[in-house]
């Protein structure tokens, strides 16, 4: 029998001060909801997401998983009940999408610890328990009840073990307990945490599985989002370095959840990776570079101060230097673009050199156009290539040219005004300026 995950994601983000649904706020380039879905996918055969009304953007983010709607926000137990028809016959775990950092092995441990007929929950010991619900255990260590902060006594608030909100039980028990929850509490809501008392009343065992606080801390404010980002970045950096990546200042490197770095990549300080980046081995990424949606071939050197934008592909041994921006382009092996250039919507052949100040003029105000540059081309400094245009293999383009027509292979192209020199005229101008006769 498949286990089922019910993810509660109806939060509006009120404390985030945001029009965006809370669980769509991003960590390492990925929404909180997608982080939790990724952790759940290897463990649960079925995943159902509970949304609030008019949350089409969250529904799209949840695809291809089933979604149900909580029309009225009457509490967490009420939210879980909206998914009753999807529980199936196996184990059911209820999770919160604003707990985005729960790891797969923790979820596996939750399922393995839940005994038939019993109830399991995740708990943690934060440095500052704050307003988290407290897990109250009996003398034998079994969970007796969970008390929400608003309803807790001062003695109960002094308990350090806190509820992460995640519960797991057999489907039939989960259905029955949910339907028995009442709303006679300070908030007038149906609390999922009441399942603990209901299970105990049935004589069932309730077990708390402790996990690291970094995994289980909830995200309800921008400050907590930043704290979760810091935790996740630490995990990503540690994993990269353990896999053979060198970071000279790890704390200044920011990775996306899907960044792929091969062994023997070296990353200098203050490098940012957006989503969709893959980097092959023996690549050096120099300081202050910004990379997103790009594939970088082995042996390449990027930066410093380089920007690679989406749909950029670099083959082996490409050099992209300082203040070079590349977008939607393919640079073949051995290409060099060392300084102050923009390459957009272009194809550049093997071993071509792009001189300083070169730009591909790819946008005419209405449409984007492509530039095609062959192999072994030398593009002189301060060249403007007005797309659509192509440059044949082995061609040379003189510095300062504005290329508006195709250049044949092995041709020398010059497209600039002829220099005119007037001997002595500069001295005459200076003298005139002093006497006021100019």
| Alpha carbon distance 123, 212 (integer Å) | 9
Cα(161)–Cα(367) distance, integer angstroms? 59
Interhelix angle 32-40/104-113, nearest 10 degrees: 50
Q: Determine if the peptide bond prior to 388 is cis (ω within 30°).
A: yes
Between β-strands 330-331 and 359-361, what pairing exists: parallel, antiparallel or unpaired? Answer: unpaired
CB count in 10 Å sphere of residue 338: 16
Residue 203, phi-psi category: left (phi > 0), alpha (psi -120 to 50), beta (remainder)? left
Whole-angstrom distance, CA of residue 194 vs CA of residue 91:
19
The span from the CA of 284 to the CA of 394, in Å, is 28
With H, G, I as helix, E, B as strand and everything else as coil, classify residue 356.
coil
**CA separation, residue 351 to residues 4, 28, 51, 91, 376 (Å):** 54, 35, 53, 59, 5
Contact yes or no for 114/91 (Cβ under 8 A): yes
Contact between 73 and 11 under an 8 Å Cβ cutoff? The reply is: no
DSSP state letter for 150: G
Which positions are catalytic?
A: 339
The CA distance from 183 to 73, in Å, is: 13
Element (H, E) at 34: helix 32-40
Length of the chain in terms of residues written: 438
**Phi, psi of 16, rounded to the nearest 5 degrees:** -75, -15
Q: What is the CA 303 to chain-centroid distance, rounded?
A: 22
Contacts of 394 (CB under 8 A, 6+ apart): 374, 375, 376, 377, 409, 410
Classify residue 179 by its DSSP letter.
H
């Amino acid at each position: 029998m498949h286990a089922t995950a019910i993810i509660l994601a109806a939060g509006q983000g009120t404390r985030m001060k945001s029009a965006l649904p809370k669980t769509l706020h991003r960590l390492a380039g990925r929404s909180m909801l997608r982080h939790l879905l990724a952790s759940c996918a290897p463990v649960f055969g079925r995943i159902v997401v509970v949304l609030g009304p008019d949350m089409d953007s969250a529904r799209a983010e949840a695809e291809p998983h089933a979604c149900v709607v909580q029309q009225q926000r009457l509490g967490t137990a009420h939210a879980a009940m909206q998914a009753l028809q999807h529980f199936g016959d196996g184990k059911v775990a209820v999770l919160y999408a604003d707990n985005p950092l729960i790891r797969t092995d923790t979820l596996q441990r939750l399922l393995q610890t839940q005994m038939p007929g019993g109830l399991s929950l995740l708990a943690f010991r934060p440095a500052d328990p704050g307003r988290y619900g407290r897990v109250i255990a009996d003398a034998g260590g079994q969970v007796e009840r969970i008390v929400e902060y608003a309803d807790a006594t001062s003695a109960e608030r002094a308990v350090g073990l806190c509820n992460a909100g995640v519960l797991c039980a057999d489907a039939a028990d989960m259905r029955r307990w949910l339907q028995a929850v009442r709303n006679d509490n300070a908030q007038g809501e149906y609390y999922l945490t009441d399942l603990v008392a209901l299970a105990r009343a049935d004589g069932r065992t309730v077990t708390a599985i402790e996990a690291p606080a970094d995994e289980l801390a909830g995200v309800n404010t921008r400050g907590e989002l930043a704290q979760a980002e810091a935790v996740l970045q630490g995990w990503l950096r540690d994993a990269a370095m353990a896999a053979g990546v060198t970071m000279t200042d790890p704390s200044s490197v920011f990775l996306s959840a899907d960044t792929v770095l091969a062994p023997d990549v070296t990353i200098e300080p203050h490098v940012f990776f957006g989503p969709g980046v893959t980097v092959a081995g023996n690549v050096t990424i120099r300081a202050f570079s910004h990379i997103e949606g790009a594939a970088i071939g082995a042996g390449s050197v990027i930066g410093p101060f380089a920007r690679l934008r989406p749909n950029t592909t670099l083959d082996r041994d490409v050099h992209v230097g300082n203040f070079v921006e590349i977008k939607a382009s393919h640079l073949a092996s051995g290409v060099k673009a060392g300084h102050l250039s923009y390459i957009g919507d272009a194809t550049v052949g093997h071993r071509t050199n792009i001189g300083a100040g070169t730009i591909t003029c790819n946008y005419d105000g209405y449409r984007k156009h492509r530039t095609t540059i062959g192999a072994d081309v030398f593009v002189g400094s301060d060249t403007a290539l007005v797309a659509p245009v192509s440059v044949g293999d082995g061609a040379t383009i003189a510095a300062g040219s504005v290329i508006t027509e195709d250049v044949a292979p092995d041709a020398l192209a010059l497209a600039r005004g002829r220099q005119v020199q007037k001997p002595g005229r500069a001295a005459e101008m200076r003298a005139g300026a002093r006497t006021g006769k100019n």
